[in-house]
Amino acid sequence: MTALAGRHVVLGVSGGIASYKSCTLARRLTETGARVDVVMTRAATEFVGTVTFEALTGRPVISSLWEPGRALSHIHLAREADLVIVAPATAQVLARAAQGLADDLLTAILLARTGPVIVAPAMNDRMFAHPATRRNLESLVDRGWLAVGPEKGPLAEGAAEGPGRMSEPETLFAHVVRALSGESPWRNRKVVVTAGPTREALDPVRVFTNPSSGRMGFALASAVWLRGADVTLVTGPTSLEPPVGPKVVRVVTTAELSRAVARHLRRADVLFMAAAPADFRPRRQAGTKIKRGASEKLVVELTPTTDVLSATRKARRRGAVIVGFALEAGGGVRSARAKLAEKALDFIILNDAREPGAGFEVETNKVTIIGKTGRAKPVQLLPKSEVAAAILDAVESAL
Ligand code: CTP
């Protein structure tokens, strides 16, 4: 089943140049199973043709209160839609909505709407910075609407000093999925996810680390945010794009990771410890680059780093659910269970580094989910995003 199967979304498009990006959003929503009704203002039709949206959604575009045979469509759409998203929302539409005007189909829907509404403001940066616009948006947010963006970045008219650019379609899409995740047990839970490797310096240009890509942790952070959680992603150095939604905290060393986890764990309901911290660090760190010809043989003395999970035991809230990962190369379930007990975990997710398609640097994973009680549950080889979903389904029972 696709993510938005059977969901009904009204996509309001007002007259801004960013409306070309709403075509991508309309397509993304439609291909993930949503029934999308596009409602355009008159100004919007100056930018994009109705035919474009009709072809993308497979449904007629509605742009007037006065279309024959569609009397009261504003009331039906306002009542029946699971979600209304206005993208782009121009300064003009925000002003009319804030005032409660209903002088076209889109504003009439917004006035009649009691369910969730997302707005994606898009305009010139000075127009967005104007106190009138700020106040209008604030009053809509106070009434329970969710504003996504605008972001800093180039505008159609050139470089901008402040935010004004509409959020990208993928960002808006993620917010729609999250808004439609309904009564998920994750909603408003505080979740901390760690990801990626850490690095321990030998000298200013050399480090000890491991090949963790951070993908499993990023996939988990994204998946749990989409289910409604309030997520902090603490990550070591990775080349991955930050996911839409989670607050990202960057660390380098295991000690920094440990401090960041301790700080965020105090208020967390759940910790997913998917990071692969460097387990050893050089006992001494050279202040200048060690020269290759300095000696025949370089001996580096290593000392263990902090075990983050064990060190942060005291920082755990009572009742917090702690999920660790175990990377094993042989030993499997038995040694994972030993780690679960030793680190006082509620779940441990076992990865066998020797399994094809599992472990570091790959897009897929093959894991076994082991709870404090109960049997080990093997999950088939899947993309990391689907493994993340299986882990969330299993951990959900403990919330
Ligand atoms: N972990 C941690 N601090 C470390 C190393 C690991 O908190 N310094 C966490 C990992 O994030 C993971 C769990 O402990 O959730 C198990 O990690 P793993 O590398 O499998 O085990 P180690 O504790 O490092 O034990 P060993 O290397 O002996 O297998």
In this structure, which residue's CA is closest to atom 9 in ligand 1? 309
Cα Rg of the chain, angstroms? 25
Q: How far is the CA of 326 from the centre of ligand 1 (A)?
A: 7
Q: Is the pLDDT of residue 286 over 60?
A: yes
- pLDDT above 60 (res 1): no
| Euclidean distance between CA atoms 387 and 394, whole angstroms | 11
Q: What is the DSSP letter of 292?
A: G
- Looking at the chain, the number of H-run helices and the number of E-run strands are 14, 19
Residues at CB less than 6 angstroms from ligand 1:
254, 273, 275, 277, 279, 305, 307-309, 324-327, 339
211 C-alpha to ligand 1 centroid (Å): 15
Report the alpha-carbon angle 43-48-53, nearest 5: 115
Give the predicted TM-score (pTM) of the model. 0.92
Atom of ligand 1 nearest to the CA of 335: 29
Q: How far is the CA of 308 from the centre of ligand 1 (A)?
A: 8
User: pLDDT: is 353 or 226 the higher one?
Assistant: 226
Cα dihedral angle (279, 284, 285, 287), rounded to 10 degrees?
A: 180
Please state the rounded mean pLDDT for residues 67-72.
66
Question: Catalytic amino acids?
Answer: 210
Q: Establish whether the linkage from the previous residue to 88 is cis, with ω within 30° of 0.
A: yes
Using CA positions, which residue lies closest to atom 4 of ligand 1?
307
DSSP 122-171: ---HHHHHSHHHHHHHHHHHHTTPEE---BSS-BTTB--SS--BPPPHHH
Separation of CA 227 and ligand 1 centre (Å) = 27
What is the 8-class DSSP label of residue 77? H
Region 254-261: what's the mean pLDDT? 97
Q: Point out the least confidently predicted range of 39-43, 54-58, 123-127, 354-358.
A: 354-358
Residue 219: which residues within 8 A CB-CB, separation 6 or more? 384, 385, 387, 388
Q: How many CB atoms lie within 10 A of CB 60?
A: 13
Residue-wise pLDDT for 349-384, tens only, equals: 998 878 887 777 788 889 999 999 868 899 999 999
